[in-house]
Amino acid sequence: MKLNYNYDGNIACRTILQDQLEKLNINYQLLDLGQIEISDNISEDTFEELQTSLKRFAIHIIDNPKGQLIQKIKDAIIEIIYDKEKFPNTTISQYLADKLNYRYGYMTNIFSEYTHTSIENFIIIQKIERAKKFIIDGELSLTEISYELNYSSVAYLSTQFKKVTGLTPSMFKRVIDKRRKLSNTE
């Protein structure tokens, strides 16, 4: 039997973190996306054990300031893409500068230097990933998806979707439907 599943990466990550921290009896508080405050001092052995247990799930503790900034930028972008109410009334560049208290130019330089892509490209990729999830879920029309992701039109969403995936949203939907049909006949 084959099962199809869907998941929210942020919830999955938080659950894994909670399980691993509790397994090691570490007192903690989950803060913003990508941040945990550990209440007590923990031994170096416990810290290494935590790092090792988290690596199993591809979760890494970031210990350098630039890496932390990059992760905060990614988290802020993902937060606004997955929660429409948090989408800024201003430009995303102004939102990031205000939220993270850095000049946007500085953030773009650091982000590009370490990730080899721009913040703008990261935003586009995240929006397209979200659009793919919407299409797979099949509950929204392309017009509704473009609205949810703050695109000015379906045509603009389709152009970016094709540029990133090589397929139009309609072609992507047909591929998903065909895979489902094949999966259900097996």
CB 68 within 8 A of CB 62: yes
For residue 18, is it within any domain? yes
Write the pLDDT tens digit of every residue in 67-92.
Answer: 889 988 998 998 888 876 766 677 88
Reported as a pLDDT band with limits 50, 70 and 90, residue 59 is: confident
Look at the chain and report how many structural domains it folds into: 3
> What pLDDT, on a 0 to 100 scale, did the predictor assign at position 186?
63
Q: Give CA angle at 87 (82, 91), nearest 5°.
A: 130
- The mean pLDDT of 19-45, rounded to a whole number, is 83
Q: Determine the Cα–Cα distance for residues 9 and 148; give it in Å rounded to an integer.
A: 19
Q: What CATH number does the domain containing 147 carry? A: 1.10.10.60
Give me the helices (H) in the chain, please.
Answer: 9-23, 44-55, 65-82, 92-100, 104-115, 119-137, 142-148, 154-165, 169-185
Pair (104, 138) in one structural domain: no
Write the pLDDT tens digit of every residue in 88-146.
Answer: 677 889 989 999 999 999 999 999 998 999 999 999 999 999 999 999 988 899 999 99
Domain boundary residue, one of 20, 46, 61: 61
Q: Determine the Cα–Cα distance for residues 113 and 92; give it in Å rounded to an integer.
A: 20
For residue 1, is it within any domain? no
For residue 14, is it within any domain? yes
Judge if pTM exceeds 0.75: no
Domain ranges, residue 16 = 6-61
